[in-house]
C-alpha cells in the first residue's frame, strides 16, 4: 500500500519561510528609496504602513487581499528564477484610430513598466513545468485588447506545441473599449486556441482573481479544466451596477464573489494566497502522474 | 453623409424583421425545438431543423418581439444562459447528424440579470465560443439587426459571418461606450462614428465577409427583397462550405478568428 502523505505541510512551511525571507530582503532598499506610506484598508479601515502588507499583500488586521501586480504574482507562484518570459515585445496599435489611445498606452507603459496587461512565459511550480499567463489590473484594468488576446493565444499555442499544461491568472475589467470590435474578437481567438489545447488532452487551470469580469469571464477565464479562485474575488459577467440597474434594487455584498460562484457551481475550489503555489503544484503533479514530482 | 448612428436607429427599429421572419421566409418546414435540458427554455433564442431548398439544416436565431407583449415573452431578445445552452445543444445535434448551421443574430446583448449571473452567463457564452470553434459542420451567421457584444459573438463563431446593410455589431452600445469612455452617454452619436460598428466598416476590417443589401430606409420597407437576396446567397455559400473537406474547414475557421488583432512586435 502506498503511504498516504497529506497535507504537505513541510514543503508549504519551507516555501512560506522562503517567501518571508524574500519579503524581508525586499524591505531594505524600499526603506531607503521611498518613505513609508500609510494606507487604509478599505475593508476594516485599519490604517497601517504599506510595508506591513508583506509579499502576500494581505491586510494584517482583517486578512483582506490587496491586488497583486503581475511581477508580484509571478514571484509568489513560480519557483525562484524559473520564469522565462515569452512574447515580451508586443505593443498595442490603434485599430479604430481612437483619439488619444496611443498616448494612453504610452502613459500606462511608463507607469507600470509593462507593455500591456498580460505577462506570459514558462516556469516551474514546485518543479512542475507549466506555461503561465498573468494579467495585471494595474494596466488599464487588465482590459483585453489585441496584445492581451495575441499573447494569451500564443501562450496556448506554445503549450499545445510543447505538450505543457497552462495556468492563467485572470483578472480584468473586460473588453479594451478603445479597440472596439477588435477587442471582442479576441474572446473568440483565445477560446479557439484553448479549444485546441484541450483537444490535445492537456491541462488548463484558470485562477480567478479580483476582479474577473466581462469578456474575460465570458471567454477563457471560464474555460479551465479546473477553475480556482482566490477568496472573495469579484467574478461575474455583467457589472454589478448594470445588474442593479436591471433589477432596480441593491444587490447583497456576496453577489458575484468567489464564494457565490463556488455556491452556484462555477468555481472548483477557493485557494488562499499562501497555499496557491503548493495547490497548483499538487494539481500539476496529479496530472503528470508523477506523485513525487518531476525527475 | 449619414452618420453611423442612423444605422443604429434602423437596426433597433421595432418594425425591423426578426429572426423568425427570415427563418419562415427562407426555409421550408421549420420545426422548432425547445429547452437546454438543464434548466429551461429561453424564448429569446429559437432553434430547430428545416430545409434550405433540398438540404437539411439546423437553424437558430436570437428573437426580438414586435409588440410589448411579445417582447416581454422574448425578453427583448436578450438571452439568458439557458438560451446559449439551448443553442449549443442544437448545434451539437447538428454536428452529430451532419447538418450545416445557420444562425440569425439580433440582440442588444446577453441579459444582465441576477438569475443570468447565478446560472453562469459568462460560462455559457465562453462554452459556446470554445465549442463552436471546433464544430465539424459548416456554419454561417447573419447579423440581421443588433449584434450586441459577447451576447452576439456567442452564436457567431462561424465559418462565415454576414451582416445586413443596416445592422450593427459592436463591443457595446454607443450609449454605453460614450458613458464609459467619455462619462457622457449623450455623446452616443459621436461614439457610433468612432466605433466602426456599421456593416461596411466591419467588412473593411474583415470582421464580416459579406454585406446584404436592404431597401432604402431599411429592410422593413421591402422585406422580400432582402430575404430573397439572402436566401440565394445562403444556398450558394452553404453548397460551397459543404463541399470543403472538414479538416480544411476547421483550419480556415481557426485562421479566420486567429487573424484578428493589431499590434507591433
Ligand atoms: Zn483590513
Q: How far is the CA of A188 from the centre of ligand 1 (A)?
A: 38
Lowest mean pLDDT among A17-31, A166-180, A266-280, B204-218: A17-31
Q: Is residue A294 part of a domain?
A: no
B122 at interface of A, judged by CB pairs closer than 8 A: yes
Question: Is A78 in the same domain as A52?
Answer: no
Classify residue A114: in a domain, yes or no. Answer: yes
Contacts of A157 (CB under 8 A, 6+ apart): A193, A196, A197
* A226 located within any domain: yes
Q: Residue A295's pLDDT is what? A: 58
Q: What is the pLDDT of residue B185?
A: 87
For residue A293, the model assigns a pLDDT of 82
Q: Determine contact, residues A58/A65, Cβ cutoff 8 Å.
A: yes
CA atoms of B166 and A42, how far apart (whole Å): 48
pLDDT mean by block of 10 residues, chain B; 265 residues: 88 96 98 98 98 98 96 97 98 98 98 97 98 98 98 98 98 93 92 96 97 96 97 98 98 98 96
Number of domains comprising chain A:
2
pTM (global) more than 0.90: yes
Q: What are the φ and ψ backbone dihedral angles of A16, each rounded to 5 degrees?
A: -65, -40
Residue A21 in domain: yes
Say what the pLDDT of residue B108 is: 96
Tell me how many residue pairs between chain A and chain B have CB atoms under 8 A apart.
178
**pLDDT by residue (tens digit) across A119-172?**
999 999 999 999 999 999 999 999 999 999 999 999 999 999 999 999 999 999
Cα A20 to Cα A56: distance, rounded to the nearest angstrom = 9
Sign of CA dihedral B201, B13, B163, B188: positive
Domains of chain B, CATH where assigned: 4-258 (3.90.226.10)
CATH number at residue A225: 3.90.226.10
Indicate if A143 and A284 belong to the same structural domain: yes
Same domain, A27 and A159: no
Do the domain assignments include residue A5?
Answer: no
Q: What pLDDT does residue A265 have? A: 98
Give the pLDDT mean for A34-41. 76
Which of the four pLDDT bands, split at 50, 70 and 90, describes residue A294? Answer: low
Q: Which helix (H) or strand (E) holds A142?
A: none
* Lowest mean per-residue pLDDT among A89-93, A219-223, B173-177: B173-177
Q: Is residue A146 assigned to a domain?
A: yes
How many CA atoms lie less than 13 Å away from A43 in the CB half-sphere?
11
As a whole number of angstroms, the distance between CA A158 and CA A233 comes to: 29
How many other β-carbons are positioned within 10 Å of the β-carbon of residue A210?
20
Measured in angstroms, how far is the CA atom of residue A45 from the centroid of ligand 1? 6
* Same domain assignment for residues A205 and A241: yes
For β-strands B168-170 and B263-264, DSSP reports them as unpaired
With 90 as the cut, is the pLDDT of residue A22 above it?
no
Same domain? For A36 and A97 the reply is no
Q: Which domain holds residue A177?
A: 68-288
| pLDDT confidence tier of residue A53, bands split at 50, 70 and 90 | confident
Same domain, A211 and A135: yes
- CB contacts of A192 in chain B (<8 Å) are 129-130, 133-134, 157, 253-254, 257-258
Query: Measured between alpha carbons, how far is A9 from B76 in angstroms, rounded to an integer?
Result: 55
CA of A50 to the centre of ligand 1 (A): 12
Task: Choose the closest CB to B170 out of A180, A237, A245.
Answer: A180
Banded model confidence at residue A3, pLDDT cuts 50, 70, 90: very low
C-alpha separations of A81 from A45, A122, A133 in Å: 36, 11, 16
Residue in A96, A180, A238 closest to B112 by CB: A238
A169 and A58, same structural domain? Answer: no
Please state whether B35 falls in left (phi above 0), alpha (psi between -120 and 50) or beta.
left
- For residue A37, what pLDDT is reported? 84
Which residues 127-166 in chain B show a CB within 8 A of chain A?
127, 129-131, 133-134, 149-150, 153-154, 157
Residue A28 in any domain: the answer is: yes
Subunit contact B125:A181, Cβ cutoff 8 A: no
Instruction: Please tell me the predicted confidence (pLDDT) of residue A137.
Output: 97
Give A28 Cα–ligand 1 centroid separation in angstroms. Answer: 24
Nearest to A264 among B118, B263, B265 (CB): B118
Does A80 lie in the same domain as A61? no
What per-residue confidence (pLDDT) applies to A35? 53
**Residue A155 cell numbers, joined:** 501562450
Contact A221 B122 (CB under 8 A): yes
Distances (CA, A) of B76 to A291, B22, B42: 53, 18, 12
Q: Using 50, 70 and 90 to split pLDDT, how confident is the model at A51? A: confident
d(CA A136, CA B31): 48
pLDDT of residue B124: 98
The answer to whether the CB atoms of A218 and B263 lie below 8 A apart is no
Does the N-terminal peptide bond of residue B29 adopt cis geometry, omega within 30 degrees of 0? no
**Does any domain span residue A220?**
yes
CB contact at 8 A, B152 and B169: yes
Residue A18 in this model has a pLDDT that exceeds 70: no
- Is the same domain home to A37 and A77? no
> How far away is chain A from the Cα of B143, in angstroms, using its nearest Cα?
14
The neighbouring-strand residues paired with B105 are: B143
pLDDT (tens digit per residue) in A253-265: 999 999 999 999 9
Domain shared by A22 and A142, yes or no: no
* Cell matching residue B262: 493589431
Q: Would you call A238 and B153 a contact, using CB atoms and an 8 Å cutoff? A: no
Interface test with A, best of B92, B107, B112 (most A CBs within 10 A): B112
CA distance B137 to A161: 26
Whether residue A37 is found in the same domain as residue A141: no
* pLDDT recorded at residue A6: 40
**Does the structure show a pLDDT above 80 at A38?**
yes
Please give the grid coordinates belonging to residue A70: 503581475
Cβ of B119 under 8 Å from any chain A Cβ?
Answer: yes
Band the pLDDT of A108: cuts 50, 70, 90: very high
- Measured in angstroms, the CA of A53 and the nearest CA of chain B are apart by 32
Separation of alpha carbons B64 and A172, rounded Å: 31
> What mean pLDDT do residues A28-55 have?
76
- Res A19: pLDDT: 61
Question: What residues of chain A lie within 8 A of the CB of B131, using their CB?
Answer: 195
Task: Flag whether pLDDT at A33 surpasses 70.
Answer: no
Q: Same structural domain for residues A227 and A257?
A: yes
What is the reported pLDDT for A4?
A: 38
Mean pLDDT (chain A, rounded):
90
Contact predicate A232/A257, CB 8 Å:
yes
Q: CB distance B126–A219 less than 8 Å?
A: yes
- Asked if B1 contacts B190 with a C-beta cutoff of 8 angstroms, the reply is no
pLDDT of residue B210: 98
Question: Distance between CA atoms of A259 and A66, rounded to whole angstroms?
Answer: 17
Amino acid at each position: 500500500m502506498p503511504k498516504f502523505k497529506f497535507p504537505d505541510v513541510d514543503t508549504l512551511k519551507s516555501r512560506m519561510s522562503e517567501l518571508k525571507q524574500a519579503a524581508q530582503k525586499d524591505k531594505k532598499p524600499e526603506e531607503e528609496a521611498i518613505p513609508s506610506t500609510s494606507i487604509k484598508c478599505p475593508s476594516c479601515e485599519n490604517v497601517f504602513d504599506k510595508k506591513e502588507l508583506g509579499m502576500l499583500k494581505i491586510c494584517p488586521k482583517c486578512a483582506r487581499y490587496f491586488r497583486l501586480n503581475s511581477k508580484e504574482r509571478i514571484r509568489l507562484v513560480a519557483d525562484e528564477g524559473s520564469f522565462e518570459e515569452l512574447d515580451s515585445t508586443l505593443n498595442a496599435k490603434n485599430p479604430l484610430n481612437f483619439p488619444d489611445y496611443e498616448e494612453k498606452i504610452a502613459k500606462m507603459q511608463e507607469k507600470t513598466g509593462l507593455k500591456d496587461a498580460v505577462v506570459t512565459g514558462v516556469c516551474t511550480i514546485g518543479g512542475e513545468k507549466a506555461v503561465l499567463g498573468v494579467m495585471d489590473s494595474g494596466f488599464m484594468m487588465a482590459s483585453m485588447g489585441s496584445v492581451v488576446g495575441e499573447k494569451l493565444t500564443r501562450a496556448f499555442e506554445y503549450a499545445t506545441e510543447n505538450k505543457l499544461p497552462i495556468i492563467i491568472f485572470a483578472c480584468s475589467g473586460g473588453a479594451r473599449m478603445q479597440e472596439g470590435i477588435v477587442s471582442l474578437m479576441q474572446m473568440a481567438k483565445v477560446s479557439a486556441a484553448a479549444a485546441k489545447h484541450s483537444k490535445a488532452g492537456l491541462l488548463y487551470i484558470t485562477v480567478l482573481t479580483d476582479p474577473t469580469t466581462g469578456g474575460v469571464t465570458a471567454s477563457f477565464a471560464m474555460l479551465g479544466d479546473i477553475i480556482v479562485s482566490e477568496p472573495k474575488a469579484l467574478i461575474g459577467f455583467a457589472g454589478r451596477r448594470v445588474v442593479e440597474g436591471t433589477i432596480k434594487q441593491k444587490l447583497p455584498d456576496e453577489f458575484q464573489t468567489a464564494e457565490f460562484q463556488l455556491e452556484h457551481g462555477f468555481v472548483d475550489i477557493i485557494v488562499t494566497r499562501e497555499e496557491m503555489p503548493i495547490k497548483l503544484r499538487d494539481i500539476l503533479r496529479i496530472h503528470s502522474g508523477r506523485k513525487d514530482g518531476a525527475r | 453623409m449619414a452618420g453611423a448612428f442612423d444605422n443604429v436607429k434602423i437596426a433597433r427599429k421595432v418594425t425591423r424583421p426578426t429572426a423568425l421572419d427570415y427563418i419562415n421566409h427562407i426555409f421550408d418546414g421549420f420545426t422548432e425545438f425547445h429547452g437546454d435540458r438543464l434548466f429551461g427554455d429561453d424564448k429569446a433564442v429559437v432553434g430547430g431543423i428545416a430545409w434550405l431548398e433540398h438540404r437539411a439544416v439546423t437553424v437558430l436565431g436570437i428573437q426580438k418581439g414586435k409588440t410589448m407583449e411579445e417582447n416581454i415573452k422574448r425578453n427583448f431578445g436578450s438571452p439568458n444562459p439557458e438560451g446559449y445552452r439551448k443553442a449549443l445543444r442544437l448545434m451539437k445535434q447538428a454536428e452529430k447528424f451532419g447538418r450545416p448551421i445557420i444562425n440569425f443574430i439580433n440582440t442588444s446583448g446577453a441579459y444582465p440579470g441576477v438569475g443570468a449571473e447565478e446560472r453562469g452567463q459568462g460560462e455559457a457564452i465562453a462554452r459556446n465560443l470554445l465549442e463552436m470553434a471546433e464544430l465539424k459542420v459548416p456554419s454561417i451567421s447573419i447579423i440581421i439587426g443588433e449584434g450586441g457584444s459577447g451576447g452576439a459573438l456567442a452564436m457567431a463563431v462561424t465559418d462565415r459571418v454576414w451582416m445586413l446593410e443596416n445592422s450593427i455589431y459592436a463591443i457595446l452600445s454607443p450609449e454605453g461606450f460614450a458613458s464609459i469612455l467619455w462619462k457622457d452617454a449623450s455623446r452616443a452619436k459621436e461614439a457610433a462614428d468612432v466605433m466602426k460598428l456599421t456593416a461596411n466598416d466591419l467588412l473593411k476590417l474583415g470582421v464580416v465577409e459579406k454585406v446584404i443589401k436592404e431597401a432604402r430606409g431599411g429592410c422593413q420597407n421591402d422585406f422580400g427583397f432582402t430575404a430573397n437576396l439572402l436566401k440565394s446567397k445562403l444556398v450558394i455559400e452553404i453548397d460551397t462550405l459543404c463541399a470543403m473537406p472538414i479538416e480544411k474547414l476547421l483550419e480556415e475557421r481557426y485562421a479566420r478568428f486567429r487573424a484578428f488583432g493589431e499590434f507591433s512586435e
